[in-house]
Every structure is written in C-alpha cells, then in structure tokens.
C-alpha cells in the first residue's frame, strides 16, 4: 500500500499511533510558520494533541505525487485554533517511512 494511503487512513480515522508508525526514527518536521525544525519526539507531542482534537479536520486530502523517495500532498485543514489553511506538504521518504516533512500553508478565510 502506498504511504499516502496509509497517511490518509490515519488522518481519516484519527489513528495517532498509525500515523506515528509512519515516521522514521530520524524524522524531522519543518514548521512553515517559523522554519524551525522539530525532532520526532517534539513532533509527536504536537501531532498527538492535534490528532486528539475534534476540531482538527482534514478536507480534500489528495496525493499530487509519490514514489519511493518523495510524497507531495495537498489538503485543506481546519485546525483546533479555529483557523483554516490550504496545506502543501512535501515528505521525504526513507525505507518506506517519512523522514522529513516540510509544509507550506495559505490561510483561508471562513
């Protein structure tokens, strides 16, 4: 199963453990707001809080491109802080897992 399908399933079912299992032990998340990098353990805290929120809603999640080295996906996300953003995520892959994610986001007015 392509990693996009696993990612999509984890988001749609709010499967935090399933999502975190997709992350390589050396995973890094680059925050688009500050361009700072978070380690897997730092990102795990943030991702767990977001995934446990009923206010986090992924809409129109779609794969733009995927191969063994990269996954590019786009979605519209309603965040727990009541903001909505169109998010483009580029995930670098290693050994079938996400090793680095960098996002770009555009705020959407509701």
Distances (CA, A) of 15 to 40, 74, 107: 17, 19, 26
- Residue 36 DSSP label: -
The DSSP output letter for 95 is: T
Which of 71, 89, 74 has its CA nearest to residue 32? 89
Q: What is the pLDDT of residues 84-96, one digit of tens each?
A: 999 999 999 999 9
Q: Of 3.30.750.210, 3.30.1950.10, 3.10.450.50, 2.60.40.10, which CATH number belongs to 3-108?
A: 3.10.450.50
Interval 14-68: pLDDT, tens: 999 999 999 999 999 998 778 899 999 999 999 999 889 888 899 999 999 999 9
Res 110: pLDDT: 67
Q: What is the model's pLDDT at position 101?
A: 97
Give the global pTM: 0.90
């Amino acid at each position: 199963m392509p990693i996009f399908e696993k990612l999509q399933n984890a988001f749609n079912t709010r499967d935090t453990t399933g999502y975190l299992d997709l992350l390589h032990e050396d995973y890094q998340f680059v925050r688009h707001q500050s361009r700072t990098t978070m380690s897997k353990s730092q990102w795990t805290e943030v991702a767990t809080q977001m995934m446990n929120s009923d206010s986090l809603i992924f809409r129109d999640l779609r794969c733009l491109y995927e191969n063994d080295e990269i996954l590019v996906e786009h979605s519209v996300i309603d965040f727990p802080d009541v903001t909505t953003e169109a998010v483009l995520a580029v995930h670098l892959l290693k050994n079938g897992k996400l090793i680095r994610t960098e996002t770009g986001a555009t705020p959407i007015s509701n």
